[in-house]
Amino acid sequence: MGRGILLTSNLPQLQNLIKRDSVAYKEEFLQQWNHYNSIRQIFRINPDEQAQHYRELVSFIAQACLFLVATCYPKETAEFPTQISSLLLESYGILSSDTRKCLVQNLVMLRNKDVITSIELLKSLFPLLPRTSSSTLRTYIRKTILSDIKVANQKSQNHKLNRAVQAMLFGMVERGMGGEVVGDKGRLRATNGPTNSREGANTDEAMWAVVLTKELWRKGVWNDAKSVSIVAQGCFHPVTKVQSAALHFFLGSEEEDDDSDDDEAVDVKGLHHRREVNKKTRSGDKKLRKQLKVAKKKLHNKEPNTPNFSAIQLLNDPQTFGEKLYDMLNTYDKRFTLDHKILIMQLLSRVMGSHKLCVLAFYTYVVKYLFYRQLRVPSILVALAQSVHDLTPPDAVTPVIRKLSQEFVHPGVASEVIAAGLNAIREVSRRQPWAMEEDLLGDLIEYRKSKDKAVTAGARGLLKLYREVNPSMLKRRERGKDASMGLASGNQPLPYGHSAEAAIDIEGLSLLEDHLQKLREEDGVSLDGDNEDDWNGWDVESDFDSESESEEEGWINVDDEDNDDLVISDSEDEDEQKKKKDEPLEDEPARISTLAQTKILTPADFALLNDLRMQAAVKAVETTGGSKAKRKLAALEASQKARHDEQNHDEFISENDILGPRKKAKADYAERMASIQKGREGREKFGSRKGKQNKAAPSSSTNREKARNKPIMMILSSGAVRGKKKASLRDKQQKLRAHIDKAKKSGH
């Protein structure tokens, strides 16, 4: 009896004994288990009663389960994890913060020791994220979820867990899709009529679903289309905060949230202001320098925002996705803020440009924002340019270009506005040259004579573009030498909808075929094109069974002079053919390679093909030195540069591309003072240097010392000299006595 009382009152000692010998102390554990069940029933009715004792029992049972579940009595403790999870989910709102933390930690400990599975743990933790008010516990739950999923997918993809978690996250987003947006704050008004607390839970859990999916994507744990579909669903959530988080994921930009792993951005101006207001101390100076150093390091290591192209490419049904984005943008045009509408425009334009979609109503919508006084108009112009591609109908883009020229390019606006308009028109025309009108193009390129550098650069860029893509729209004197020669030789731009990729053969493919053949010869592989082993399994029924005799005899050599069986009749140019046959052969006909018929060419093969063509052109210039070889090399280099520039322009457009080169802005007061202080570094302070040398503590001279060196005429006119002359005898005696007393005290 004494032993039982002792162990009942000392749970840590009993826990230690169970770890050493679990079988011997089974009775004591069952006693504590029954006691736990009794306390649990009381605790569910009144959580404030015996809360501390209940937490101690839960921790004891959880520790003991790690050693006893698999060996002694799994049936008794099998329901223990379910009991903790049910209590958290059902009574989370009335539990104290210490009890919540204790239950969550013990549940996580059971998962770490494989007592419960990851799916069981995550089913309990996901609903707690939007309900908890403690930032510490919320951060702990978040890190636990992320680390558990990451560890499960560390060696290989855990598809079972991923599918289950993605289904839960998708459900968290889907539960809040039945509402509609009300007001600028994005408050959720549900159509099904749930309680207000449930509305907030739906909003928060949708936000957490998007945040967790973004984090797992960023860490490289998830990179599949199901993850993208979760965030894509969040783009149409009725709460603007959830929409913004999902939009930022596709755009590659970061949005600050309260529970992000990164530290908050340092407010440099705020730090300096507090330092000026608060008391000046050495510790304060040291702390300020440390914070400024951290802010500078963050700014230096910050990476530029680049769109998430891989996620955009994994979108399911991008046409429907783009149309829904435009419908949301058009429906809530007066409810969304301008920043939020620009986010939607940017994502819609990215999707349209990447997948070459045609959402023609977007160009009608964006026209009303195209005027130079519009806030954040460079971002709108970037979105407009990104949405255009070579399959966009020119009739839909022509009104946009006309609107840009009317609002941005005219003498009544500043030069920066004209430069932005010209650059925007150039970027739109680069993607769809047929949208430009010939008369308008002639007016725009006249700005190349402007005195402003940015305007001149914008007009010249537009002129250079049309010299390359469609010089026929330019006047004869504006086409340039190369474009004029191209038009004279009959080179015409392809009409809208036509592609230049259709060709009989790929230029230079024979070089790639010879290169691969050489590699095979070095490896000792047979190169016999008629090797029957290479065609095993590819034999098909012949369509020329009636010509079995000709198949047996083989192909007829049409160039054989001894072959008299072949007679070409009904030819009007028979004499010319005989004449050409007798003439000597000057240029050998181009060899048509059959490599593309037997091999699927990869992007690496095309890259190697371009390198081989460049090497062959360089070799031809070195050996022959002819003008034809030099022109071919120059054309290849220009083509390679054009492909590189076109790829960069298609993928990355920034506001700097629209604004163009700008003059240096006038410095404000803070920048001017910083420049002044920088110029004074390493230089002594201004002012008189008298009295500052040859002293332990340098200082300036006193007024008495300065008075000794004054000119005599200034001294005679001073009030002190005049006062001495007019002083009475008594005043003179008092001054003399004071002088004598002072001399005695000083020892003179």
| 94-148 confidence digits (pLDDT tens) | 888 889 999 999 899 889 888 889 999 999 999 999 888 888 999 999 999 999 9
For the ranges 379-383, 427-431, 571-575, 590-594, which has the lowest average pLDDT? 571-575
What whole-number distance in Å separates Cα of residue 38 and Cα of residue 33? 9
What whole-number distance in Å separates Cα of residue 196 and Cα of residue 205? 14
Hey, what amino acid is at 636?
L
Give Cα 476 to chain centroid, integer Å.
Answer: 45
What whole-number distance in Å separates Cα of residue 432 and Cα of residue 426? 10
Q: Which band of pLDDT confidence, cut at 50, 70 and 90, is reported for residue 26?
A: confident
**Residue 198 lies inside a defined structural domain of this protein:** no
**Of 116, 145, 162, the domain-final residue:** 116
The token pair that represents 670 in the structure block: 């803070």
Q: Which band of pLDDT confidence, cut at 50, 70 and 90, is reported for residue 717?
A: confident
Q: pLDDT per residue over 333-389, tens digit each? A: 999 999 999 999 999 999 999 999 999 999 999 999 999 999 999 999 999 999 999
Residue 463 backbone dihedrals phi, psi, to 5 degrees: -65, -45
* Mean of the per-residue pLDDT values of the chain: 78
**267 vs 136, which has greater pLDDT?**
136
475 in the same domain as 329: yes
Mean local confidence (pLDDT), 190-217: 71
Mean local confidence (pLDDT), 158-164: 93
pLDDT of amino acid 262: 42
Within 235-368, residue ranges assigned H as helices are: 240-251, 268-277, 282-301, 309-313, 318-331, 338-355, 361-366
The token pair that represents 180 in the structure block: 């509609």
Q: pLDDT per residue over 731-748, tens digit each? A: 888 989 999 998 888 775
Hey, what amino acid is at 280?
K
Q: Which band of pLDDT confidence, cut at 50, 70 and 90, is reported for residue 649?
A: very low
**Residue 692 lies inside a defined structural domain of this protein:** no
Hey, what amino acid is at 548?
S
Percentage of the chain lying above the pLDDT 90 cut: 35
Mean local confidence (pLDDT), 558-578: 45
**Of 594, 614, 641, the domain-final residue:** 641
| Most confident option among 21-25, 48-52, 667-671 | 667-671
Q: pLDDT per residue over 494-547, tens digit each? A: 788 776 655 556 777 777 778 887 887 776 644 444 444 444 444 444 443 444
For the ranges 189-203, 496-510, 657-671, which has the lowest average pLDDT? 189-203
Would you give the DSSP letter of residue 175? T
Three-class secondary structure of residue 619 per DSSP: helix
Q: In which domain, by residue range, is 28 found?
A: 1-116
Q: pLDDT per residue over 431-476, tens digit each? A: 999 999 999 999 999 999 999 999 999 999 999 999 999 998 998 8
**574 vs 514, which has greater pLDDT?**
514
Within 684-728, residue ranges assigned H as helices are: 703-708, 712-716, 719-726
Would you give the DSSP letter of residue 469? H
Q: Which band of pLDDT confidence, cut at 50, 70 and 90, is reported for residue 260?
A: very low
pLDDT of amino acid 540: 40
For the ranges 292-306, 477-491, 532-546, which has the lowest average pLDDT? 532-546
pLDDT of amino acid 584: 41
For the ranges 63-67, 537-541, 622-626, 709-713, which has the lowest average pLDDT? 537-541
- Is 609 in contact with 509 (CB distance < 8 Å)? yes
- At which residue do the structure tokens 């996620």 appear? 311
Three-class secondary structure of residue 252 per DSSP: coil
Count of beta carbons in the 10 Å neighbourhood of residue 746: 7
Evaluate the CA torsion angle 38, 40, 46, 52 in order and state its sign.
positive
**Of 461, 479, 497, the domain-final residue:** 479
Mean local confidence (pLDDT), 583-591: 48
**Residue 293 lies inside a defined structural domain of this protein:** no
**436 vs 59, which has greater pLDDT?**
436
What whole-number distance in Å separates Cα of residue 538 and Cα of residue 531? 13
**594 vs 718, which has greater pLDDT?**
718
Q: pLDDT per residue over 381-426, tens digit each? A: 999 999 999 999 999 999 999 999 999 999 999 999 999 999 999 9
Name residues whose C-beta falls within 8 Å of residue 637's C-beta, 6 or more positions apart in sequence.
614
**Residue 302 lies inside a defined structural domain of this protein:** no
**Residue 88 lies inside a defined structural domain of this protein:** yes
- Is 486 in contact with 471 (CB distance < 8 Å)? yes
Buried b (16+ CB within 10 A) or exposed e, 567-603: eeeeeeeeeeeeeeeeeeeeeeeeeebebeeeeeeee
**Residue 382 lies inside a defined structural domain of this protein:** yes
What whole-number distance in Å separates Cα of residue 21 and Cα of residue 18? 5
**Residue 558 lies inside a defined structural domain of this protein:** no
**Residue 353 lies inside a defined structural domain of this protein:** yes
610 in the same domain as 472: no
How many domains is the chain partitioned into structurally? 3
- At which residue do the structure tokens 């009152």 appear? 9
